Structure 1
Amino acid sequence: MTRFSGKSVIVTGSSNGIGRATAVLFSRYGAQVTITGRDSERLEVTKEKMLKAGALPQNINLVVANLTDPNGQDHIIQSTLKAFGKIDVLVNNAGANIFDGTLNTDQSIEIYQKTFQINFQSVVEMIKKTKEYLIKTKGEIVNVSSTVAGPQAMPMAPYYASAKAALNQYTRCVAIDLIQYGVRVNSVSPGIVESGFMSAQGFPDELQQKFLTFFASRKECIPAGVCGKPEDIAELIVFLSDRKRSSYIIGQSIVADGGSTLVAGMHAHDLHDMLGL
């Protein structure tokens, strides 16, 4: 008997990065897991990693679906119910910073609509559609937000930041609404993570590595001096999905960012050098 034996879990956006690492970790703990995304080949890679982690083939439900399409959402949910008979945990991980070449607040309304659809609206729709099943199991919901939600500004990605800020508030609202039925809702807010997030926006791998190396090497960006790994965030998601280990945490967004959000501008400078001490 392992930690999540007999538990049915949906992990959206599980074809790479944080979603893949989360699906693998749930499998290691004995869960029945629905993995889903739009790329069937990447989902097959996730499935292979889950099998290597000890998952039984019958405990993996692979669903190719577009999460922004209501029919895709229904397919994910109904396929999970058919495969496993219930839903115990919903991890709303899928998200994207949709890039059109504009790194300021001049981004188009079309980008705004697409960004909110995947990062916020799809979460609302998935929670509404799974609510009745989660109430039956007194289950858990974990939303994946981001430190870009604030309070610091993010003018190079205004719609993505705003969508994640909306997600944090929605998490709090729905947490209070659903806890009366025994369903816990929380979220995680990762900082910079080596997750392939930039590759999904169309950036080449070498540019992504340059970005990660730059931030990790500067204490005003990441005090810990290292970028996060998908597995770091997966551990936190699984912790929040475990009623025995996190039962008294309700409606919180747990930050995992290597200290990035604690840094003010003055921290980028050495006070001893500045004062000549």
Structure 2
Amino acid sequence: MPSQTVWITGASSGIGEALALRYAQDGADIVLSARREDELRRVADRCQQAGVAADQVLVLPLDVTHWEAMPEAVQAVLDRFGHIDLLVNNAGVSQRSTCQDTDMSVYRQLMEVDVMGQIALTKAVLPHMLSRGSGHLAVTASVAGKVGVPQRTGYCAAKHAMMGFFDALRAEVEDQGIHVSTIVPGFIRTDISRNALAADGTAFGELDPDISGGMDVADCAEVIFRGLSARKREIPVGKGKEMAALWVKRLSPELLFRLVKARS
């Protein structure tokens, strides 16, 4: 039986890197994409240490805002492995600034990276999956895709958009053999806050207390791996109070709004 081919964007660090290592342990063929080729090669080495052969890992640098490069990238994966079984749209950037202070260029960048880039790559891969009548599309959304919180107006908007897009896509393609999963992380110990955009578009450069106290990224990857393996449509992952917010939002939106305001 041929190995599963798993393509992960944002694979140079954080959840993407941890997920690549978990799939390496499972023996999958892995495609690693992000902008930083040197970091991708470091992750590729770690994947080999985790158990896959060198020819099972393809380092494929990709900037998700460069839509014109995506057809060639898809073809490179198909030329190497012949098929794409799972695409994990994990590239993204967060935000730490109030609406009043945030430059419009920051909102544009958040939408280009966190929304349009994910849509563009999904559209590039989708025809291949439809022609095979099988495949799995996933996106790393966020609890921020369901709950609005201070200093993340653009990030929350982007993640809400991803929840809506992939839920709607699922309704279109699930009967054609394509599975669609939304991954909903809470606070995970990564560099997401350090790399977040400040009001002027520079890196925020600090580690949030919520992030530093969040779930270990390897534990997060294990939850995601199991959820994707079970073809769950939605995969919440986290260990803190933020995960309870998902239920509060469903049961009592007004209560959640008050809780968020009290915390700000």
**1:262 partnered with 2:258:** no
Superposed displacement of residue 98, structure 1: 4.8
Could you say which residue in structure 1 is the equivalent of 2:228? 241
TM-score where L is the length of structure 1 = 0.80
Shift of 1:71: 2.9
The match for 2:219 is 232
- Quick check: 1:142 aligned with 2:129? no
Q: What is the 5 A alignment of 1:58-97?
A: 58-97=55-94
Structure 1 residue 195 corresponds to structure 2 residue 177? no
Q: SS at 1:186's partner residue?
A: strand
Report the alpha carbon displacement of residue 255 of structure 1 after superposing the two structures with TM: 4.4
2:98 pairs with 1:103: yes
Deviation at 1:128, TM superposition (A): 1.1
Check 1:10–1:137 CA distance in 2 against 1; reply closer, same or farther (3 A cut). farther
For 1:236, the aligned partner's letter is V
**Displacement of 1:40:** 1.3
By how many angstroms is 1:203 displaced? 4.2
Per the alignment, do residues 183 and 216 of structure 1 end up closer, same or farther by CA in structure 2, a change over 3 Å counting? closer
Question: 2: CA distance between counterparts of 1:32 and 1:43?
Answer: 15
Q: What corresponds to 2:48 in structure 1?
A: 51
Q: Do residues 156 (structure 1) and 138 (structure 2) align?
A: no
Q: 1:103 corresponds to which letter in structure 2? A: T
Identify the residue that residue 270 of structure 1 maps to in structure 2. none
Q: CA RMSD in A?
A: 2.4
Q: Which amino acid aligns with 1:184?
A: H
The alignment of Structure 1 onto Structure 2 pairs a total of residues equal to 243
- The answer for the alignment partner of 2:10 in structure 1 is 13
Contact kept? 1:33, 1:59, Cα under 8 Å = yes
For the residues of structure 2 that align with 1:241 and 1:85, how far apart are their CA atoms? 21
Alignment partner, residue 35 of structure 1: 32
Aligned-pair distance for 1:216? Answer: 7.4
For the residue of structure 2 that corresponds to 1:188, the secondary structure is strand
**Does the aligned pair in 2 maintain the 1:174–1:185 contact within 8 Å?**
yes
Q: Compute the displacement of 1:166 (Å).
A: 0.8
TM-fit CA distance, 1:57: 0.5
Change in 2 beyond 3 A, CA 1:231/1:72: farther
Gaps of 5+ in 1: 218-225, 267-277
- Structure 2 CA distance for aligned equivalents of residues 185 and 240 of structure 1: 12
Name whichever of 106-115 and 125-134 sits farther off: 106-115
Structure 2: gaps of 5 or more residues: 197-202, 246-255, 260-264
**C-alpha deviation, 1:65, in angstroms:** 1.8
- State the TM-score, normalized to the length of structure 2: 0.84
